Structure 1
Amino acid sequence: MNDVIIIGGSFAGLAAALQLGRARRKVTVLDTGLPRNRFASHSHGLLGHDHKPPLDILAQARHQLARYPTVSLVSARADSVSGGLDDFTVLTDNGESLGARRVILSYGVADQMPDVPGFAESWGTSIVPCPYCDGFEVAGQHWGVLWTGPQSYQSAKLFQHWTDKLTVFADGHDIPSDIQADLANRSISVVAGRIVEIAHQKGHISTVNLESGRNIAVDVLFAQPRSKPSASLHESMGLATVDTPTGIVLKVDERRQTSVPGIYAAGDLATPFLPSVTQASSQGAMAGIFAQQSLLD
């Protein structure tokens, strides 16, 4: 019987495993090897690992976890979770049945790419979601902002801390006139019309092409496509969720526990705003600590 099974072995899951391993708890981490930021060449903002490839950081973390004999890293997908507090059962895709007293969900989310040629190919290279993750490297360049709703208005204002060359692409949305006026006062251009193509060279944008025939040159496009959880385990367990402008996330309390006692969640799967490697690592560590403390009861 494991003390904790962690489903998802990216930054949140491995951070949880580290805390539990140091507490000498028996832990199994199940991972499919498909972290959300695998498309990014570098990860930024993580203290001690700034500007390192994310896959290299994860590889180093797994190497460091090898010194903890109670932690097992398993390449497998969790197909189901059943049972309850102190007696959970996790079935894997290879037919193995694992028992645990607690479960931590950290299987993350998958970004849903719009059906626009060139978008998916540029994702993580010149189409990015977060200025805190990638803004410094492209500061002062011409940024595009893909409008998806009211949150895009706040983003456009925020982005002026990095650059004074901003173009908002309405992409078929009706942007309120007062917001358009304010953006104009801020010298932020608004371009109407739907995007039909992202012209690029090996993921590096050259132009954003519109159905009107206009082609607008930008250096980088900031976009927040909708995402969905990378697995459906939370649905079968009936876990409470929160709907956000970019997709659903799991609802957790101040101790990272979900609506089902004994099941915790961390990382992008349970982060409603501005997910990041730093935040995922912090949440994972706290989920591990709180799960460990709950075993004392």
Structure 2
Amino acid sequence: MKLYDVIIVGGSYAGMAAALQLVRARRSVLVIDAGQRRNRMASHSHGFLAQDGADPAEIARIARAQLQAYPSLSWCEDEAVDAAGTHDAFVVSTARSGQFGARRLVLATGVSDALPEIEGLQARWGRSVFHCPYCHGYELAMGRIGVIAVNPMSLHQAQLLPEWGEVTLLLNNAVEPDAAAREALKRRGVRIESTPVARIEGEADVVLVDGRRLRFAGLFTAPLNAPSTPLAERLGCPLASTPMGTQIQVDESKQTGLPGVFACGDAARVPHSVSLAVGDGAWAGAQVHRSLVFPTV
């Protein structure tokens, strides 16, 4: 079993950003990636400096090609199914390619989204149903925006979104704003619709259970997130609860509660975007290298 300096589980934006810092320090790095980017359904990425409007798949392709120009990088297209070990002696098991060893681990696994169970929503996720207004709000051209409530964070989301259009908060039996919340929404010009949602049709048409159809330029929702794999739990890394769900708990150096295991990207921070994931990964990569140079830190 080959021993690497670092194994990075997850080859999306955060994982590749971490890898770049490490291979430029001439460290041996293995990236294990199952090929399931969270934003794979989106055709354009916005808010990422110098890449605004680019195809997120193309951003990932270019990044990987640049990484693979470094001889100390290895790439494994496989799913990491288990991980174990301690500082300087970790083992990652994959579904098809066997086991690999490393002195350090980086968990850049991304997250899964617990979307509302509404007919038609899943098929439009990342296309006309979004979670981040900074990534997708501008393109709605100040049109009508619907916010499908799922938890108390939806009230915050609805108050934020009037910067990008005329907002209607669809309570959908998920939340019930108190008097103070209703007043805050009113001050922001947000309308409230209490009738539950039956389904979504067309581009972003909401059909209510009473048969009414509300047409929107786009829809937003605030799904709860969780790390997309159980590797952190299997390693014994603590998790943290946030208003947006569960994430891997890390310190300022992006190290988890288990020495030698680091985490970055959506799985280890909120909020989420491509640019934030890249920055988080770059910082994590530098801190992993520092831990290899100064192992007592």
Report the TM-score when normalising by structure 1: 0.94
Q: Deviations over 1:17-51 (max 9, x none)?
A: 11101000000000001100001111111112111
Tell me the secondary structure at the aligned position of residue 164 of structure 2.
Answer: coil
How much is the aligned-residue C-alpha RMSD, in angstroms?
1.3
Partner of residue 211 from structure 1, selected from 209, 212, 215: 209
Count of matched residue positions in the alignment of Structure 1 and Structure 2:
291
User: Displacement of 1:66 after TM fit?
Assistant: 1.7
Residue of structure 2 in register with 1:74 after alignment: 76
User: Displacement of 1:95 after TM fit?
Assistant: 4.5
**Alpha-carbon distance in 2 for matches of 1:81, 1:251:** 17
Tell me the secondary structure at the aligned position of residue 269 of structure 1.
Answer: helix
Residue of structure 2 in register with 1:142 after alignment: 144
Q: Deviations over 1:71-105 (max 9, x none)?
A: 01110111111110011111111152211000000
> Runs of 4 or more off by more than 3 Å in structure 1?
none
Residue of structure 1 in register with 2:195 after alignment: 193
CA contact (8 A) 2:83 2:231 kept: yes
Partner of residue 27 from structure 2, selected from 25, 28, 43: 25
Partner of residue 286 from structure 1, selected from 266, 269, 283: 283
- Name the amino acid aligned to 1:257: Q
**Alpha-carbon distance in 2 for matches of 1:145, 1:6:** 36
**Alpha-carbon distance in 2 for matches of 1:186, 1:12:** 35
User: Displacement of 1:174 after TM fit?
Assistant: 1.6
Question: Structure 1: where are the runs of 5+ without partners?
Answer: none
User: Displacement of 1:226 after TM fit?
Assistant: 1.9
Residue of structure 1 in register with 2:50 after alignment: 48
| Bigger shift: residues 135-144 or 12-21 | 135-144
Residue of structure 1 in register with 2:171 after alignment: 170
**Alpha-carbon distance in 2 for matches of 1:49, 1:95:** 34
Give the percent of matched residue pairs that are identical in Structure 1 and Structure 2: 40
Residue of structure 2 in register with 1:244 after alignment: 242
| Bigger shift: residues 92-101 or 58-67 | 92-101
Tell me the secondary structure at the aligned position of residue 39 of structure 2.
Answer: helix
**Alpha-carbon distance in 2 for matches of 1:160, 1:187:** 7
Q: Deviations over 1:184-209 (max 9, x none)?
A: 34332100022110112xxx21x211
Residue of structure 2 in register with 1:101 after alignment: 103
Residue of structure 2 in register with 1:259 after alignment: 257
Structure 2 CA distance for partners of 1:182 and 1:283, relative to 1, 3 Å: closer
CA contact (8 A) 2:7 2:106 kept: yes
**Alpha-carbon distance in 1 for matches of 2:132, 2:111:** 15
- Name the amino acid aligned to 1:127: V
